A and B are shown apart, each in its own frame.
Chain A
């Protein structure tokens, strides 16, 4: 059924309410018998509950219910793909076929540009299984010396999923990666699972899932010019802790969210797992539809939380009052104001990953660098998440920067040349990984985790930050507040 979508802005105030309103063009059929006898009484549900109810063919579900959910898409990459298919083959047998070869997306991205023979072998294994099972979406890479010589290769899986039109409102996506929750930005249920669960999905197209209760985060007010989506999620994680959302869904609503573009919403949902969250969601609106419909013509149906749905907790943030923050070593919830960390000398800056290596992230960093002028004081590593992001960095003029591209601005500021797109040093990786921290240094990074050893060296100190804060810190040579460098 087609839904006419009109996102109306409701002024400021109703606590925690999603401002988008939807009017139906076609009404659902009304039952002729009384609700009590048809069992068609529907509990008011949150959007996460509704998605899982629909996918498990239930009229309604309650948090805590264990349900068998149908899966729309399964994603895997080079680290977990071989193991996942290994389990699939062991358990379902050599003759078994994948439940739907058009619903599996295989994206090599983690350990790509390395001489490590096992890492390279893992990509070969993916190629073999993609061929064996007729997997439609396999973003292969063969020529490691020149990423651009590989027309199918994309880069970081979560960004590629969005860019290739695999993320759609109302759908269920599982991935063998904890940051699969990134896709919740599209108003879908998306979460990470291990190889065994993924192997099960490969054979059956379903998974047993416990319905999570939803915590709602209303982000209201006007975003100050020095604040980015990364600051918002770091604030939230700092507020509730790394286990504050364990087993729960995190729903992000409010003016600040509806005014974000899709990449900013992804940044927020990406780090839901860092609070222990099962999944994150943003209600779909015209911004979502425009993004999705320019990348796929496949149908979808957005769902929205009922006004009277029950939430486990309600949080409210007035974003206009927030300041740039960092997550100091060694936990994503170790929130500190950037301006209170100016005494922290920095050895390097890293801008990349699914969290902070998207086009918008590079645009932001470039904008700050251009506006401030001057050169970075420390090695500043740039890793565009995907081939497309890399292209944007080299071709798109950065708004308000005299027509210069991000690449030109980075070069003028003395940053390291943008590297081949992949996960690179976000999680360390093989020793020869680009920008891996092989010495105990202090790094400001736009990535998602800073546990001991995350980027390589066990004694490395990682400060998680927004692209503005990272760029400012690169210019300063110490942890810096973006306002130090903005007019």
Chain B
């Protein structure tokens, strides 16, 4: 949901902007493995950027996932000259988002254009921060998608039917429902939801 600007002071880019459509996201996926910690999602040297400042919010997005080791991840999540990613869907293994409590992690992902992570499990602070900020949907699945999919594959993440479809092969994978977390992220975070 788009965030209304307060006076001229705050104009923040939309978080996950479904524009009123159902919670279905289509796009290329970026595959990561287990234990992607928040230092890999947004290295500590970029934490001087304050997420509540609009221009710094955008800059955080440009650094999303730049901490991933180059050998294992030859394709960058955000291209060198770009501020935004081509991969709205991130695939993860176990314990996605472990490590630091930095809210900059889900913020950087959301700011870069990520809309949903589909992983086997999450670290608690990261999961909580995704919901509170409304920056992206943290979807859980029992399927070991990080072994089945490759970066660049077109997928559809349907959070209404709770199914992920590999558009190349047509194969479908079951997702766990978001439950109460869904509407909070739809609204744009806990404050927006509370209103």
Q: Which positions in A face B, CB cutoff 8 Å? A: 79-80, 82-83, 86-87, 90-91, 110-111, 116, 118-119, 122, 125, 176-178, 180, 192-197, 200, 242-243, 246-247, 273, 276, 278, 331, 427-431, 449, 451-454, 456, 458-459
Asked if B123 and A111 make an inter-chain contact with CB atoms under 8 angstroms apart, the answer reads no
Asked if A83 and B48 make an inter-chain contact with CB atoms under 8 angstroms apart, the answer reads no
Asked if B128 and A194 make an inter-chain contact with CB atoms under 8 angstroms apart, the answer reads yes
Residue B47 interfacial (CB < 8 Å): yes
- Binary flags per residue of B18-48, CB closer than 8 Å to A gives 1, else 0: 0000000000000000010101100111011
In this complex, what residue of A is CB-closest to B180?
A66
Chain A residues with Cβ below 8 Å from B102 are 79-80, 194
In the assembled complex, the Cα of A119 lies from the Cα of B39 at a distance in Å of 18
Asked if B35 and A430 make an inter-chain contact with CB atoms under 8 angstroms apart, the answer reads no
In the assembled complex, the Cα of A90 lies from the Cα of B102 at a distance in Å of 19
Residue B50 interfacial (CB < 8 Å): yes
Asked if A178 and B39 make an inter-chain contact with CB atoms under 8 angstroms apart, the answer reads no
Nearest chain B CB to A102 CB, angstrom units: 24
Chain B residues with Cβ below 8 Å from A180 are 101
Asked if B101 and A243 make an inter-chain contact with CB atoms under 8 angstroms apart, the answer reads no
A interface: dominant SS: loop
In the assembled complex, the Cα of A458 lies from the Cα of B67 at a distance in Å of 7
Q: Which of A79, A178, A196, A273 contacts B47 (CB 8 A)?
A: A79
Asked if A192 and B125 make an inter-chain contact with CB atoms under 8 angstroms apart, the answer reads yes
Beyond A176-B103, A451-B99, A452-B67, 11 extra complex contacts between A and B, CB < 8 Å = A86-B52, A91-B191, A110-B47, A116-B48, A192-B101, A194-B102, A194-B128, A194-B133, A246-B95, A276-B98, A453-B40
In the assembled complex, the Cα of A91 lies from the Cα of B50 at a distance in Å of 16
When A91-B191, A196-B191, A247-B124 are in contact, do A453 and B99 touch as well, CB less than 8 Å? no
Chain B residues with Cβ below 8 Å from A451 are 35, 37, 39-40, 99
Residue B132 interfacial (CB < 8 Å): yes
Q: Which positions in B face A, CB cutoff 8 Å? A: 6, 10, 35, 37, 39-40, 43-45, 47-53, 67-70, 94-95, 98-104, 106, 121, 123-125, 128-129, 132-133, 189-191
Chain B residues with Cβ below 8 Å from A278 are 124
Chain B residues with Cβ below 8 Å from A193 are 101, 125, 128
Asked if B100 and A178 make an inter-chain contact with CB atoms under 8 angstroms apart, the answer reads yes
Nearest chain B CB to A269 CB, angstrom units: 15
Asked if A197 and B39 make an inter-chain contact with CB atoms under 8 angstroms apart, the answer reads no
Asked if B98 and A242 make an inter-chain contact with CB atoms under 8 angstroms apart, the answer reads yes
Asked if A82 and B95 make an inter-chain contact with CB atoms under 8 angstroms apart, the answer reads no
Asked if B123 and A119 make an inter-chain contact with CB atoms under 8 angstroms apart, the answer reads no
Asked if B52 and A429 make an inter-chain contact with CB atoms under 8 angstroms apart, the answer reads no
Chain A residues with Cβ below 8 Å from B100 are 177-178, 427, 449
